[in-house]
Each structure stands twice: as C-alpha cells, then as structure tokens.
Amino acid sequence: MQRELSILLADDCAEALDVLEAEFIATGFRVAKAQNGAEAWARFQSAPPDLVVTDVRMPEADGFDLLRRIRAVSDLPVILLTAYGEIPLAVAAMRAGADDYLRFPDDLERLVARTRELLGDSSGEPHDAAARMIAGRGKAARELRSRVRALASLPVPLLLSGEPGSGRSQVARAIHATSDLAKLPLVHWNEGALELPQESCVLLIEDIERLERSEQERWLLEIRRISQRRPGVVVRLLASASPGLHDAVSAKRFHPELWSALARFQLQIPPLRERLEDLEPLVTDLLREAAARLGRESLELSSAAMAELGKRSWPGNLRELRDVLEQAGAFEKSPRIGVAAIRDAIEEVIAKRGDSLETQRAARRSAQRQELIDLLAACGGNVAEMARRLSLTRGAVVYRLQKHGLMV
C-alpha cells in the first residue's frame, strides 16, 4: 500500500491556510499547518514532511528564513507562495534553493499539479534528487531515473554517454545528489590540472573523448592510484562522452585501458527526440529557468507554440530547446510566448548552431590531418606500417592521406 504523502503548510493568514488545506486533502495528501515560520520550523523538526509550502511574508521567521533552515539540513521540495508578483523575490527564491515560486491564489491549481510533479507520486517513484532533477513521466525519463538511482552510490568510475546537449551535466549532478557521497563537493575537471584532487570529492570530467593521448595515459595512471590514496580520502570519478567514444577506441584514438576502466559501468542518456512525450514538463522547467535568467516574472507558451516545438526532432537536444525558449522569452514582450516568436527563435538558434557545427567540423578535420602527419613521421613514411598500427588496409590509409592532401 502506498504511503500517504504529507505537506507542511505555513501561512500567517488563517483563511489562506484553510483554502490550501482543503485543496491538498481533497487530492489525497496529509496536511500539517503552521501560522508562522518559527512554528513551521518546529513542526518540520518534530515530524519532517514530504514537501513544504510556505508563504514568503510571515512574522517570526518569514518564508526565506524557513527555506534557509530547511536547506541547511534537507533537500526536500519547498515551494514559496506570495500574493505579489515581484521579480526580485522570484529570482531570490530560486537562488535560495526553492523548487518553485508561485502566486496565491492565482496559481492554486498549478500548485497541486506542481506538488505532484516534485513528489513523483503519480508513477509510484520515490521522492529523491533524481525525481526532482530529471523531469518527465515518460518511459525514457523513468528508466533514466531508475538507472541513476541504481548506479548513484556504486564506488566505481561511471561513464555518462549521450549526445551533446542531452543533459549529461544535469544527470551527473543528479547522480551526485542521489548518492551516499552527496555531501562531498562535485568538482569539474580543470583542463590545466591532470592530477586528482587531494581531498575527498566527486570528480566530473566532461567530454572525455577530447582528451589528448598523453592526457588519457595520465588519467589512466591517476585512476589506478585512487585505491592507493591515504585513508579517509574518497574520490569518485564521473566522466561524460559522446556516443562516438567507442568508435574512437576502435580507431585507436582513445586508450583502450582507459575505456575499460570507465566503461565498466555506463549510463546512456536518451536524446530529446526519444523524450518528446515529456516535452511539456521539460519546457515548463526550462521556461522557469529562462524567466529567472531574464529577470521576467514568468514565461509560458501558447498551445500553438507548444505544438510547434513538438514538430521538431531537436538535433541539439535540451541545449537547443533551452536556447530557443530563452531567445523567444528575451524578445517576446508578453509573458505568454506565441508561435511566431518560437518560429523566429528556432530560425535564429539553428543559424547559430550551423555556424558552430561547421567550426567543429573544421577543427575535427584539422586534428585528423595532424594525427596522420604525426603517424606518417613516426613510421618513416611507411604506409604499410601506418596501416598496421591503425588496423586498416593499405588502401584505406592511402585514401585518408590523399583526402587530407598528404599524398598525391
């Protein structure tokens, strides 16, 4: 039998508390009430709920005070309510760690729906960091969250594989937040330093396929040294890569032993085109983030604009969708974004992405040419030896050399 989920409500207005209590009880939640922040904090400590809904402006510790106290000990969902639509408050709420910032009573219907989203109770999933940080109720999203939970606390290196823009960094943060090591810092690797940190941490190396061969060998040595570190120091390694990493191993551009060390446990992140059933909740989250970055009170899409987004396959994945929504929100005066603004934003983002892709292709061609030049020199100009080292036929090597203008 599924446990009844509990909500802690905090508001100094008795009438508002009664309305909120009735709404949540009617939709199957158990409710505890508090008339100010101090009372809410005391109730939180004595009987922690599954989610907190609090008014911002209250005596004896306001909503922000309550949020800060909760965030010091817990990451359970907190929704702030206000009767005012003040942009600075909305931005401050999200920065302080609120999961949402809604107006009361205008957003009452959305409040209950958002509560269910944050708790994930409609699908029977547990309420945890994975549920909050990976949006969607479709099969792909549910399977991704399940894999995150299964792999989060394994004390082994983990490879996150997915197309650029698919949300690899967000999934890495979800893994970290869900794991037993969540209290350790999540450190993003700095290209200027190859050594592992000296203190306990979770280390994320992004786009590992871009490492030079010498860097690959250095990281392999560092991974081997993890077990030899001084007692009490814990380092967990996460790495992200594009799906082409396996081909790089086959072509001997990536160290096979480093591949083996990383790929023992893998997490495949689905592209957006395989998650279109979750487009609406993904758009809702991205619009909330865009509104905060743009200093807008709120942003939403018209039904026609949402339908327009659903027509695309999104080769740039979540990153492309985010850029489109932010572009549309920046130039749409109304908080409700129409289909024309979405179409204009799509054209603008596609044009920029096209330039970026061509730049990437040129850089890749240059790198491939340099690799051939180096190998040709190392083999003393012997094409047969090059073919042996690359595990290719002599004809294939000749074709590559001619393609890059290195043989007539």
Angle at the Cα of 353 from the Cα atoms of 349 and 354, rounded to 5 degrees: 120
pLDDT score recorded for residue 85: 55
Lowest mean per-residue pLDDT among 26-30, 127-131, 157-161, 238-242: 127-131
Average pLDDT in the 58-84 region? 84
pLDDT score recorded for residue 94: 67
More confident residue, 142 or 83: 142
Do residues 200 and 150 both lie within one domain? yes
Q: How far is CA 220 from CA 213, 254, 260, in A?
A: 11, 11, 10
pLDDT score recorded for residue 223: 77
Which of 70, 96, 123 is at the close of a domain? Answer: 123
Residues 122 and 116 sit within 8 Å (Cβ to Cβ): yes
Average pLDDT in the 170-177 region? 92
Average pLDDT in the 187-212 region? 75
Which of 123, 155, 174 is at the close of a domain? Answer: 123
> Which residues, in sequence order, are CB contacts of 351 under 8 Å at separation 6+?
none
Of 148, 181, 185, whose CA–CA distance to 167 is shortest?
148
Do residues 218 and 159 both lie within one domain? yes
Which of 207, 240, 268 is at the close of a domain? Answer: 268
pTM: 0.57
Please say if the pLDDT value at position 8 is more than 70: yes
In a domain, 293, yes or no: yes
In a domain, 218, yes or no: yes
Residue 118 structural domain: 6-123
Do residues 13 and 67 both lie within one domain? yes
pLDDT tens-digit readout, 366-407: 777 888 888 888 888 898 888 888 777 787 788 778 878 887
Q: Give me the sheet containing 78-82, strands edge to edge.
A: 30-34, 6-10, 51-55, 78-82, 100-103
Do residues 15 and 114 both lie within one domain? yes
Please say if the pLDDT value at position 133 is more than 80: yes
In a domain, 129, yes or no: no
pLDDT tens-digit readout, 272-282: 999 998 998 89
Do residues 98 and 66 both lie within one domain? yes
In a domain, 1, yes or no: no
Do residues 142 and 249 both lie within one domain? yes
Q: Count the domains in the chain.
A: 4
Percentage of residues in the chain having pLDDT higher than 90: 23
pLDDT tens-digit readout, 228-249: 666 777 788 899 998 888 888 8
In a domain, 256, yes or no: yes
For residue 355, what pLDDT band results from cuts at 50, 70 and 90?
A: very low
pLDDT score recorded for residue 2: 46
pLDDT score recorded for residue 339: 92
In a domain, 131, yes or no: no
pLDDT score recorded for residue 101: 80
Residues 249 and 391 sit within 8 Å (Cβ to Cβ): no
Lowest mean per-residue pLDDT among 134-138, 159-163, 225-229: 225-229
Among 127-141, 166-180, 342-356, the range of highest mean pLDDT: 166-180
What tokens were used for 96?
């302080």
Do residues 45 and 111 both lie within one domain? yes
The CATH number that applies at residue 257 is 3.40.50.300
